[in-house]
Amino acid sequence: MANRHLARSVAMQSLFEWDFRGENNSTIAKILDNNLKEFAPGFDDRKFVEELVEGVLKNRDKIDSIIEKAAPEWPLAQVAMVDRNVLRIGLYELLFGSRKEVPPKVAINEAIELAKTFGSESSGRFVNGVLGTVYREIGEPGKEETSKKKNAVENLDKLPIEIKTGGVVFRRDGKRLFFALVHDVFGYWTLSKGSPIENEEIKDAAIRKVKEELGILNAKIIDKLGITEYIAKDPERGQVRRQVSYFLIETDSTELNLEASGGLDDAKWFAPGDVQDLKTYPDIKPLLSKSLDIIKNE
């Protein structure tokens, strides 16, 4: 995976230089060769870099048109040069690349990381928004694959297990309750979660993660909600069984300050009655419903 990320970095730098020098396609081979020598000496996946650059140039008109439609408030010429070429790579992989080789989520997250590395402070969010819009417009390909693969029980035992933990975070305002949800690049409201660090207890990891991700100061566990499992795609290991332990967590913090993340773009408080109208993953609303029952019975 590290090689693929480096390949995308070289491709982006090459397209940036091509763009800066007047978009002359006859210069791209020399630009690419120079950048590979300078930024990736001894690199063993030159073919992937070339496919990215050539794919972007071949489909440039279509890609640029999509950028203009997905971000109508930003004429293409006014989009920062880094952002413009990161979007070109991301959209090429999302729309014209091999989804078997590069799943949509990987294409989007990789583009966001490129934007955060080479662009301005707002680049990651901008790229996130544009690619998320396009992903939703094309019907969110790949989302159904997860549930289909989970039904292949005969293969589950062969998959590595990835442990994560998170929480249904809530606060009280008199008799009113509010839940904290985060919004991801694919347009879904979900729960804060993450991975334990070495030798960290699951409960401690849940508290640490929600405090970091939501930017809250205080958090305490009220109860354990249970464990959910689904098949996920790890960029390095491939398919994994992701097991998430969820806890009901109370805070008195009223402000949410979302941690910078390639996969998330917003965090908000919601009253229980507002949750039903939100677009969420299948396991989220049952967890919120169970949380409400626990809180009411305290």
Q: For 231-258, how does the pLDDT look when each residue is reduced to its tens digit (9 = 90+)? A: 766 656 667 788 999 999 999 999 999 9
**CA atoms of 191 and 214, how far apart (whole Å):** 10
Task: Tell me the pTM.
Answer: 0.55
pLDDT band at 211; cut points 50, 70, 90: very high
pLDDT over 60 (residue 289): yes
pLDDT at 236: 63
pLDDT band at 1; cut points 50, 70, 90: very low
Higher pLDDT, 155 or 22: 22
SS3 sequence, 207-239? HHHHHHHHCCCCCEEEEEEEEEEEEEEECCCEE
Question: Residues 172, 272: contact at Cβ < 8 Å?
Answer: no
pLDDT at 145: 53
The least confident of 101-105, 214-218, 285-289 is 101-105
- Highest mean pLDDT among 142-146, 155-159, 218-222 belongs to 218-222
**CA atoms of 14 and 8, how far apart (whole Å):** 10
pLDDT over 50 (residue 153): no
pLDDT at 25: 93
pLDDT band at 157; cut points 50, 70, 90: confident
pLDDT at 154: 45
pLDDT over 50 (residue 48): yes
Mean pLDDT, rounded, of the chain: 87
Q: Which tens digits make up the pLDDT trace of 96-148?
A: 988 888 888 899 999 999 999 999 988 999 999 999 888 887 777 766 554 45
- Alpha helices for the chain (secondary structure H): 2-20, 28-39, 46-58, 60-70, 81-91, 104-118, 123-137, 143-150, 153-156, 202-214, 272-275, 284-296
pLDDT at 147: 46
Q: Is 270 helix (H, G, I), strand (E, B) or coil?
A: strand
Other beta carbons less than 10 A from residue 51's beta carbon: 17
Q: Which tens digits make up the pLDDT trace of 253-265?
A: 999 999 876 578 8
pLDDT band at 186; cut points 50, 70, 90: low
The least confident of 35-49, 73-87, 134-148, 177-191 is 134-148
Residue ranges of domains in the chain, CATH in brackets: 2-141 (1.10.940.10), 153-296 (3.90.79.10)
Q: How far is CA 263 from the centre of its chain?
A: 3
